[in-house]
Amino acid sequence: MTNIHDCTSYGYLTGGFMTHDKKRLLSIGEAAKALEVTRRMILNYEDKGLILPDQRDGINGNRYYTADTVSRIRSIRILQNLGLSLDDIYAYYHGTTDLEPLITRLEDLRDEISRNIEKLKEHSKGHNDFEIRQIELPAQTVYCQDLHSTELEDKKEQLRGVFIKAIRQYGSDTTQHMFFTEYNLSNPGDFTCCIAVPPESRGEHLVTLPCQKALCIFYHGAYEGLPVIVKHLCAYANKYQIPLKGTARHLYLEGPPQHKNPENFLTQVAVLMADDTL
Note the pLDDT tens digit of each residue in 195-249: 999 999 999 999 999 999 999 999 999 999 999 999 999 999 999 999 999 999 9
Residue among 271, 146, 153, 142 at smallest CA distance from 219: 271
Q: How far apart are CA 247 and CA 213, in angstroms?
A: 12
The model's pTM is 0.75
Residue among 25, 87, 74 at smallest CA distance from 53: 25
Q: How far apart are CA 70 and CA 32, in angstroms?
A: 9
Q: Give residue limits of the domains in the chain.
A: 4-80, 98-125, 133-273
Per-residue three-class SS string for 30-86? HHHHHHCCCHHHHHHHHHCCCCCCCEEECCCCEEEECHHHHHHHHHHHHHHHCCCCH
For the domain spanning 133-273, the CATH number is 3.20.80.10
SS3 179: strand
Q: Could you confirm whether domain 4-80 is CATH 1.10.1660.10?
A: yes
Residue among 185, 202, 72 at smallest CA distance from 143: 202
Reported as a single tens digit per residue, the pLDDT across 172-188 is 988 788 899 999 999 99
